[in-house]
Chain A
Amino acid sequence: MNNKFDALKDDDSGEDQASPKDSEKEKPEEDDKDQNIVKKKMVVPGPGEHPLQYNYTFWYSRRTPGRPASTQSYEQNIKQIGSFASVEQFWRFYSHMIRPGDLTGHSDFHLFKEGIKPMWEDDANKMGGKWIIRLRKGLASRCWENLILAMLGEQFMVGEEICGAVVSVRFQEDIISIWNKTASDQSTTARIRDTLRRVLNLPPNTIMEYKTHTDSIKYSMGRLPWTGEC
Chain B
Amino acid sequence: MSTDCRKTSATAIPSSRRVNIDNADHIPHDYSTTPGGTLFSTTPGGTRIIYDRKFLLECRSSPLARTPPRGLPPIPGVTSPASKEPNEKTINGEVENKHSITAPDMSNTGDEAQFEMDI
Q: Which residues of A contact B68 (CB under 8 A)?
A: 92, 96
- Chain B residues whose CB sits within 8 angstroms of the CB of A107 once the complex forms: 78
Q: Could you tell me if B104 and A87 are in contact, using CB atoms closer than 8 angstroms? A: no
Question: Interface SS of chain B: helix, strand, loop or mixed?
Answer: loop
Say which residue of B56, B67, B97 sits within 8 Å of A92 (CB atoms): B67
Tell me whether B73 and A53 are in contact (CB under 8 A). no
Determine whether B53 belongs to the interface, using a CB cutoff of 8 Å to chain A: yes
In-complex Cβ contact of A50 among B29, B51, B89 (8 A): B51
Please pick, from A81, A88, A202, A203, the residue contacting B65 in the complex, using a CB distance under 8 A.
A88
**A20 is an interface residue with CB less than 8 A from chain B:** no
Contact at B29–A194, with CB atoms within 8 Å? yes
On chain A, the residues within 8 Å of B39 by CB distance are: 157
Interface residues on B, range: 35 or more
Chain A, interface residues (CB within 8 Å), range: 35 or more
Closest B-chain residue to A51, C-beta based? B49
Nearest CB in chain A: distance from B5 CB, A = 26
Check B73–A81 contact: CB distance below 8 A: yes
Q: Are B26 and A198 in touch, CB under 8 angstroms?
A: yes
The yes or no answer to B4 lying at the interface (CB within 8 A) is no
Among A2-10, A110-118, A145-153, the one that faces the other chain is A145-153
Q: Of residues 39 to 84 in A, which have CB atoms within 8 Å of B's CB atoms? A: 46, 48-53, 60, 63, 65, 79-82, 84
Instruction: Give 11 CB contacts A-B under 8 Å.
Output: A48-B64, A49-B64, A81-B79, A88-B64, A88-B65, A91-B66, A135-B109, A137-B98, A153-B55, A203-B113, A206-B108
Chain A residues at the B interface, C-beta cutoff of 8 Å = 38, 46, 48-53, 60, 63, 65, 79-82, 84, 87-93, 95-98, 103-107, 134-137, 139, 142, 146, 149-150, 152-155, 157, 159, 171-173, 191, 194, 197-199, 201-207
- Show the binding face of B for A, using Cβ within 8 Å: 23, 25-26, 28-29, 36, 38-39, 43-45, 48-53, 55-57, 59-60, 62, 64-73, 75, 77-79, 86, 88-92, 94-95, 97-98, 101-106, 108-111, 113-115
